[in-house]
Chains A and B, each alone.
Chain A
Amino acid sequence: MTEAVNIGEEFRKKARELLRKGEINAVIGYKKSGLPPYSKPHIALKEDDTDEFIFDVNCVHNLVLYVLNYLLEYPEDKVAVLLKGCDQKSLIVLAQESKIDRERVKVIGFGCPGVIDPRKVEGDEEDAHKSLTAENVHDKCLYCDVRNTPQADIFIGEMVDIKPTKERYFREREFYGKKSESELLDFWKGAFSSCIRCYACRQVCPLCYCDICISYRNMPQWIELSPTTDNNMLFHVRRAMCMAGRCIDCGECERVCPVGIPLRLIYNKVSLEIEDKYDGYRAGMDSERKPPLQEYSMADPEDFIL
């Protein structure tokens, strides 16, 4: 049962229709792939390209990245995109940051049953990737509260009604709850010693869009480029700062890391801090509420400056 929710057919139809009408230049969705995670982003520019679209529990990629890249390339165009609820939050963040003109994007939403975390079944036979189980389900799906894509312009298929079964960021709470500072430092040193600085984590993140990343600036040079443990740590601490109040926990960074560095442990920790310090703020949940780091208030305490 690969087609976990039966929206494939409806999506193909919708995509075809949108392209035929001509008001949309590209439709972004998923297609099948022969390699794990057995799916791959797909961009349809012509009606016939839409035949390849699928949706199943392996469709992990956050397609907002492709919306952003497409619109940077063709700023006059309009795109339609199939978005899971979690991924849709990053579109909200990009719109809040004026990086995407929401008018140019038609969000096709649906009721998401959850997706697989391909890392949990890495190396296993294709069968292990076919349907959701307690072993392969992505952590983020266990506490998801946006299963029916919010702010969808078009909704296809049936709504789902699945309640969260775990506390938000349960993995992070557990991880940081048990460890002393020195244990944490040892853990992260070990993890970052294997980082090869391929920047896949940064490239795949829809919210990492800087023209020149601070990790590459060399006049002056903030972070040395050689992938030593210390330099890598600096890069990742820096990236954590960039993600504060912005990361929406799509999990893409963690998925793509070729050496398996558990990056969500970092960004979700930062999100917990933001939630705690800024009155429960959660990135991408409410497009009306100003992100904490974009907001200025006369009452802001400045005790950390002097």
Chain B
Amino acid sequence: MSNKKAYFISDDKLNGFIESLNEKVPVYVPQRFDRADGTGIYTEYRPYGEGEVDLESRTLLSVKSIFLPQCEVILGFTTNEERVDVVSEAPSDERVLFSIRNCDFEAVRRLDLLFGWDYRDEFWFARRENTIIVVNICDSPLDDKCFCHWVGVDPVATELADCVMLRAEGGYIIWRISERGDVIIDVLDKVGADEVDVPEVEAKGFDNAIEVDGSHNALFEIFTDEIWKVLEPSCIGCGICTFVCPTCHCFEIQDEGSKRVRFWDYCTGYEFTRTEAHQPRPRQYQRYRQRVMHKYSYYPRRFGVVGCTGCGRCISACPQNVDIREDIVRLLKRAKVIK
């Protein structure tokens, strides 16, 4: 590696550092917000300054919202006395995405395959290209809901990031990987962060994985199995698991006034594609099957990678305690992939 230098930024200097960086390039960073009912907090990636920086909780929504916003105008009009112009502009301003985990980063890369597949989604790739990525590597799982190691994600991978950061006693160690990361290093220099060595990182605590890679065809075979009907009767068909998921990418497009808007849709809900055409899966178990099969069978069949990166969000956010890991284990047993 060409650059062996790393910087240590202590917790008390972290905000000052992000603020200085934000003056140069807008920074998106996980921040905490109070819940309206006063029972706690949730964290989200938002432009710096909206809330209180919190890099150690699992964000409610994944970084997907940074590349595929929950709603965005993809087409609009401007009018003046002479003419009507159609405007459709992908965003181009550079920004920094600070402190994303490898499950999310990997999810975004797996989605590149999809958004570049039958047509090139210019909005997705404009945002991909204008974003400098700082990965916060996980040398241990955030909690017992993380299972990236089941689905081929390396929690301490550093190669494809622009900069990498690691939690250390009292702060973070940050180092540069690509040229685009220079802007971060410059600011670290400016705010007087201490120089340290690039640490050796070893991931601990990622145990007891069920290897799901390679089981997509076996799962495909049990599409019509009776097990689906009894697998998750408690699923209510809301949008939570798909909205929080970094790899769910379904969207719908509608006109709102003079704007054409694209926004997230979700296969688990009974209204999925129904207002445009019809609902292809009239039963709730079929809709839940779609979510599981898309991730663990169809996606790997088409793109060679599992469409889930084990971030654990759907598990922690599902109000009815649906745990996709339990279901995958049951399905793999049914498909005779594991005992």
Contacts and interface: CB of A to CB of B under 8 A. Distances in A.
A116 to B, nearest CB: 13
B36 to A, nearest CB: 4
B333 to A, nearest CB: 17
A157 B30 CA distance: 49
A190 B283 CA distance: 36
Contact of B35 (A37, A41, A196, A260): A260
A194 interface: yes
A267 to B, nearest CB: 14
A254 B37 CA distance: 9
A259 B60 contact: yes
A194 B31 CA distance: 13
Interface in A190-231: 190-191, 194, 196-200, 202-204, 212-213, 216-218, 221, 224-228
A204 B37 CA distance: 19
Interface in B259-275: 261, 263, 266, 269, 271, 274-275
B217 interface: no
B35 A200 contact: no
B309 interface: no
A278 to B, nearest CB: 28
**Chain B interface bracket (under 10, 10 to 19, 20 to 34, 35 or more):** 35 or more
A216 B236 contact: no
A119 B237 contact: no
Contacts of A202: 238
Contacts of A69: 284
B63 to A, nearest CB: 15
A258 B240 contact: yes
Interface in B15-74: 33, 35-40, 42, 60-61, 70-71
A66 B36 contact: no
Nearest to B283: A73
B91 interface: no
B61 A196 contact: yes
Interface string B305-327: 00000000001110111010000
B321 to A, nearest CB: 4
B240 A200 contact: yes
Nearest to A46: B230
Contact of B238 (A41, A204, A226): A204
Interface string A25-59: 00000000111010111110100000000000000
B254 interface: yes
A194 B36 contact: yes
Interface in B59-99: 60-61, 70-71
A3 interface: no
Nearest to A198: B239
**Chain A interface bracket (under 10, 10 to 19, 20 to 34, 35 or more):** 35 or more
B248 to A, nearest CB: 12
B136 to A, nearest CB: 21
Given A200-B239, A212-B271, A261-B36, 6 more contacts: A119-B37, A194-B35, A204-B320, A226-B71, A256-B320, A258-B317
28 contacts: A34-B323, A35-B316, A37-B321, A39-B321, A40-B234, A40-B321, A43-B230, A43-B233, A119-B37, A123-B40, A187-B36, A196-B61, A197-B239, A199-B239, A199-B269, A200-B238, A200-B240, A213-B271, A217-B275, A221-B254, A224-B254, A225-B71, A225-B256, A225-B261, A225-B263, A227-B70, A256-B240, A260-B39
Interface of A: 33-35, 37, 39-43, 45, 61, 65-66, 69, 73, 119-120, 122-123, 187, 190-191, 194, 196-200, 202-204, 212-213, 216-218, 221, 224-228, 254-256, 258-262
Interface of B: 33, 35-40, 42, 60-61, 70-71, 230, 233-234, 236-240, 243-244, 252, 254, 256, 261, 263, 266, 269, 271, 274-275, 283-284, 315-317, 319-321, 323
